[in-house]
A and B are shown apart, each in its own frame.
Chain A
Amino acid sequence: SYELTQPPSVSVSPGQRATITCSGDALSRHHAHWYQQKAGQAPVVVMYRDTERPSGIPERFSGSSSGTKVTLTISGVLAEDEADYYCQSLDNGGTSWVFGGGTKVTVL
């Protein structure tokens, strides 16, 4: 079955940059979305269509895409950004959503 691959964890000091990648063959054909999930809470979309930021999401969140990889970047990380982050996209057939395994961002 189709998979989206993310690094399990990323550690970053406050004020530094956190980079989270998501790789999958179909990402060259389908856009990806990114979700932030804080402990005990439901996920919240922080990036859609690879590079677009929903209303209310801080500008320090940005996205990029290249070939079969998409990237979520948090510039100037704050303690409140500590959370799990998931990418989401369609599978090769274009009919099923797939989530990446998630990346835990730890702010040191």
Chain B
Amino acid sequence: EVRLLESGGDLVQPGGSLRLSCAASGFTFSSHTMSWVRQAPGKGLEWVSSISGGAGNTFNADSVKGRFTISRDNSKNTLYLQMNSLRVEDTAVYYCAKENSDYAGSLDPWGQGTLVTVSS
């Protein structure tokens, strides 16, 4: 069974930093592009970042460019999101998700999410 488990969410002050982790199991982690998607309280989904299986390619939303860095450690089957210069508007539940090549790259499955709150 494919499982994704996020961790690292916390309360942080504006301007602070946080690193999220996503532990993956049940599939060949290094073979799949992985993504982070966030959801602000009561709002819709927003794609944040994606990284290819070999980590050679990364893509970021304009809203986080220069502040967030996606990375992965294939030896540990773990995806990361380093978040710097955090803003109040970064407050959200952050989900990691696997791009499923069987389903044309759609995001499947998703983890349960981890809450990041940016507030003074």
Contact = CB atoms under 8 A, between A and B. Distances in A.
B62 A1 contact: yes
Given A42-B110, A42-B113, A44-B110, A96 B61 contact: yes
B112 interface: yes
A99 B44 contact: yes
Interface of B: 35, 37, 44-47, 50, 59, 61-62, 95, 100, 103-104, 106-113
Contacts of B62: 1
Nearest to B44: A102
Given A49-B104, A52-B104, A96 B110 contact: no
Contact of A31 (B45, B59, B104, B113): B104
Contacts of A48: 103-104, 106
Contact of B59 (A1, A42, A44, A95): A95
Interface string A86-102: 10100000011111111
A67 interface: no
Residue among A33, A98, A101 with the highest chain B CB neighbour number at 10 A:
A33
Given A35-B107, A42-B113, A52-B104, A96 B95 contact: no
Contact of B110 (A31, A43, A98): A43
By DSSP majority rule, is chain B's interface helix, strand, loop, or mixed? strand
Contacts of B50: 97
B106 A99 contact: no
Interface string A25-61: 0000001010101000011110011001010000000
Interface of A: 1, 31, 33, 35, 37, 42-45, 48-49, 52, 54, 84, 86, 88, 95-102
Contact of A43 (B45, B61, B100, B103): B45
A67 B17 CA distance: 43
Contacts of A95: 59
B61 A42 contact: no
3 A-B pairs closest in CB distance: A97-B47, A33-B106, A42-B110
Given A42-B111, A42-B112, A97-B50, A88 B44 contact: no
Contacts of A86: 44-45
